[in-house]
Structure 1
């Protein structure tokens, strides 16, 4: 099961397996002019200080030495891992877990016309909330740019910046399973809940393994190497089973957070509920740095089905027929808490499945898809129909050996010496390791439009697919969400557009294993311009039909217009008020984040 964020964009028109979709994209004229006029911007583009503030002088050697003494050796001078890289290092850079073990390890290396990877002046290898608080106080005192990085997956360059102090949370690895968790300050009579507390450096694979051992499930990200405590939760966080369990943000029960004043706070719905609201989807690294989070856990599902493969049409007319059939089928059969992941629409008139189904009988999964596919099987001269079904106990979903038996090639083992047994990543995620992004964009597709005007939407999908492939990610649209999950989500900062959305459409293009500044491995600007242009043509085609659609802030365009409204809609003013209260000097600022929306 590939992560729904994995848009490898390296192969064209494959429709028969996981991770098969690729897209092609657009170079925006605005981005080109920006690059030609000023060169590629550094990460986290935008004002380094709030408007009206004065830049201070760099910390003195004595100041750095005092911080180093306080941290007892945990203050580092980091470098990008590909600086003067040898062949051996370049090979290691293909392993996401090796990347994460490097203080400046980044899975994405830049964005055409937007940002490029840059090393911080110093990095704190934080082992505790106190280490993080020391870094926050130092940055505040010296008016120093502050950035936060855990696993290093951010697409938008929000986890690195030159001339900055990096809070590197990866060494914080603790996990605690709770049979009966009560948030701090909860009034008498509050019902305790089963939960899991994870520190800032823990990855989702580790959370899932711990939860499974306890007979539980936690709603998180699909990618095994993504950090659990950071941008995923802060940015809303959609996983493979969001229609059943809700967003990652909605599962947050309590957070330990260090705010701009250097205080270590424990916040939840009873203690500082406004800051808690902001941490549940208000944007990555905009309100503070998380040192640990406690997440609601659920009884583990019994059964998982994976549907891959797809359908290929012989010509445009047949493909248009197929698209409309899928769009009509979706609201009636797949828009419910059982189904997740994505459908891929490709330029070669193929449609690919990467669908998950929870706790449905195997026969029902097959019959559900047969209801869609039988009319096309009956026309072998016009359609090639090749679905593939994989069924397994849900408890085996994080078991590499089980995947190697059932679907060889689906997982890649971490073969580093000393790596934990069974640590792996999905083959579908390999395509975004070492990604230099040409373009990336997304918008929500309303379910109502599929019901009321499927012909118009099908025409738009066909026209868009002529430029580049795109994914229809149904787990990132919460139409059809379980009622109890919807209740939790309504208490978060999620853009309300997601509740009526059938799916989030994503189109992207990247150049893999490209490292700005490394001779022989630089991004190809001309290629990037052409592909970025195709991405934006796809989204422009869809926005003519859905001109006011919102988007998911963790997976959107670096050059997003009206970024505040697009990401948070009616919650924007509330989030800005919280920001002014807890971070009046705008210490925590990231591109397109609250407090830096004009960056």
Structure 2
């Protein structure tokens, strides 16, 4: 039953001087158009339910309906038709060449539209001011103390970025349009670049529905930002409207949850819950959950939607393997449940098919597991007086030898390789052994330690034993650094079969060494996401099920380099290192959430033989192409109108449909 108590008399906009909406009349009471006082006085939302097994969060019960929109129409609310649901019986209109850009239409961003939109949202509309804007005069909020704080924490405090409505990791593709001098010492102004024009601070389903309907009806670009953790700028876009889901923080624990064939402990978590919050909740409930190693990554956002690897993957599989159900708003504005029994095709796609593609997830239910002890071990090896180059690589090769055995035992390791300072450096931070004691750890890895003694290298390992996963994770993994405009990364999933053939293993090892010898940085994970208990059918890249090494390579440059040299150095990643890694793993792929921004043949690389099914489903549930992200399913139908360094699509440009290639060309 729709409650319309607050809107029973009249609702109209009073337009005053210069077309600005200064006041709003609700029930014959004048209230300012300033959003801060609207929310408690004016609510359009309807408490209803879905077919979810877990009870909806309060914000999920507040939904937009046809009845509400009909009442807005009856009351002649200006521009209310912009928020209407689509007529599914009508043919899909011929798509425009490009998404509408600010200035293309008076409707968005437009004074009246914004006022009505903010009113219906309950005052949650945010006009973008980039995070670094206090360092400049452009937004009239210059503040030297605030600028100094932002500058000192820009690279090493991801919290300040994830807590900001628009800041993202991949600032290179954003356009580096508003950064402190620690990023660009020559910057003299702050512009919006590819940051969205407006953001919605989401707290209810109705707000998501309103934004989706507006974006679809006006053909404007819609983006979704949870935390902004992404190598590929999927959470930003010039001229766009953004849904900021970061504050959907509710967590609910179920000791005995039933969903399909599952019966056991589970959590329902809002889309904004981050890894550190999820792990704390699990510790308080005396259970363990499968999440990422990065502290500020969004647990139930793009992390799980992209698959999500974990320090526990060698035991339990991918993060997306743990999902029991999701609440999601689709491109037609509908709010629904995706699970094995409700919209199963969508549920299949959302687990590994990528974020910003099939809908906006507001919450999900994930499995929990018993409390688990962990042993960790760390060391650092560097060439120098005591360690020669040959010894360094022989030691690393001895470590590579037993990757299959390590992951079969449930182990996970997180290590880096580089020679950026002139010496080769291998940092193990950490070697992570869930459910193993120190004695068991040493027994499994004994051949490696015997090899190091023969080579003549003393690694001086440091072991720690923990009673619980939380403490092991919290102490082992550093707060992740934030992005730079001086770096690009790519990745590859190296298959188990390469370790079952010594010649292939040697070729794999040499391909990785080539990147380090060439001046690259390698971050790698000995991991297997093929648990003994099996895994559900989902859109997760099938290459993950055969992997024992996920490796990330990155290239960096300096501020002083000429753009032409940066372009050459950047191209090395994609056209030299990438082919070498693909040549030794031709039937594998890469992890879409940590990948090359211009990954060749990304469809096969990220999804293998699952891509055709994903593409068909994308066109079925989003025929309007409301959702787009770089390298997402269906993104090959679009292109950016400008590039960075010649070959990197700039999100600080128009998003346009690709024109069909003429026949015979």
Q: Same fold (TM over 0.5)?
A: yes
- Contact map agreement 1:323 1:461 (CA 8 A) in 2: no
| Matched ranges for 1:125-164 at <5 A | 125-164=201-240
Greater RCO (Cα-Cα under 8 Å, separation 6 or more): 1
Shift of 1:533: 5.0
Q: Which runs of 5+ in 1 are unaligned?
A: 1-48, 404-409, 411-425, 513-520
1:121 and 2:197 are equivalent in the alignment: yes
- Contact map agreement 1:108 1:437 (CA 8 A) in 2: no
2:412 matched to which residue of 1?
Answer: 340
- C-alpha distance 459-68 of structure 1, shift in aligned 2 (>3 A): closer
1:590 matched to which residue of 2?
Answer: 629
Per-residue CA deviations over 1:218-251 (Å, capped at 9, x if unaligned) read 1111111111121111111111111111111111
1:532 and 2:580 are equivalent in the alignment: no
- C-alpha distance 538-356 of structure 1, shift in aligned 2 (>3 A): same
2:539 matched to which residue of 1?
Answer: 493
Choose 1 or 2 for highest CA Rg.
2
* Aligned counterparts of 1:118 and 1:137: Cα–Cα separation in 2: 22
- Contact map agreement 2:377 2:461 (CA 8 A) in 1: no
Per-residue CA deviations over 1:266-318 (Å, capped at 9, x if unaligned) read 11010010000010000111000111111111112123323333475844443
| Matched ranges for 1:226-375 at <5 A | 226-310=297-381, 312=383, 314-331=387-404, 333-347=405-419, 348-353=423-428, 354-375=430-451
1:391 and 2:437 are equivalent in the alignment: no
Q: Specify which of 115, 120, 137 is matched with residue 65 of structure 1.
A: 115
* Aligned counterparts of 2:350 and 2:486: Cα–Cα separation in 1: 27
* Aligned counterparts of 1:225 and 1:55: Cα–Cα separation in 2: 32
Q: Specify which of 150, 158, 170 is matched with residue 108 of structure 1.
A: 170
- Contact map agreement 2:372 2:468 (CA 8 A) in 1: yes
TM-score, reference length from structure 2: 0.70
- Contact map agreement 1:445 1:501 (CA 8 A) in 2: yes
- C-alpha distance 525-279 of structure 1, shift in aligned 2 (>3 A): same
Per-residue CA deviations over 1:124-154 (Å, capped at 9, x if unaligned) read 1111122111111111121111000011112
- C-alpha distance 212-587 of structure 1, shift in aligned 2 (>3 A): same
- Contact map agreement 2:158 2:479 (CA 8 A) in 1: no
Question: Secondary structure of the residue that 1:385 maps to in structure 2?
Answer: coil
* Aligned counterparts of 2:99 and 2:229: Cα–Cα separation in 1: 29
2:128 matched to which residue of 1?
Answer: 78
Shift of 1:214: 0.9
- Contact map agreement 1:107 1:434 (CA 8 A) in 2: yes
- C-alpha distance 554-506 of structure 1, shift in aligned 2 (>3 A): same
1:427 and 2:478 are equivalent in the alignment: yes
* Aligned counterparts of 2:577 and 2:458: Cα–Cα separation in 1: 25
Q: Which runs of 5+ in 2 are unaligned?
A: 1-92, 136-146, 179-192, 640-665
Shift of 1:53: 5.1
Question: Secondary structure of the residue that 1:427 maps to in structure 2?
Answer: coil
**Residues matched between the structures, number:** 504
2:149 matched to which residue of 1?
Answer: 88
- C-alpha distance 510-393 of structure 1, shift in aligned 2 (>3 A): farther
Q: CA RMSD in A?
A: 2.8
* Aligned counterparts of 1:223 and 1:393: Cα–Cα separation in 2: 21
1:97 and 2:159 are equivalent in the alignment: yes
Shift of 1:89: 2.8
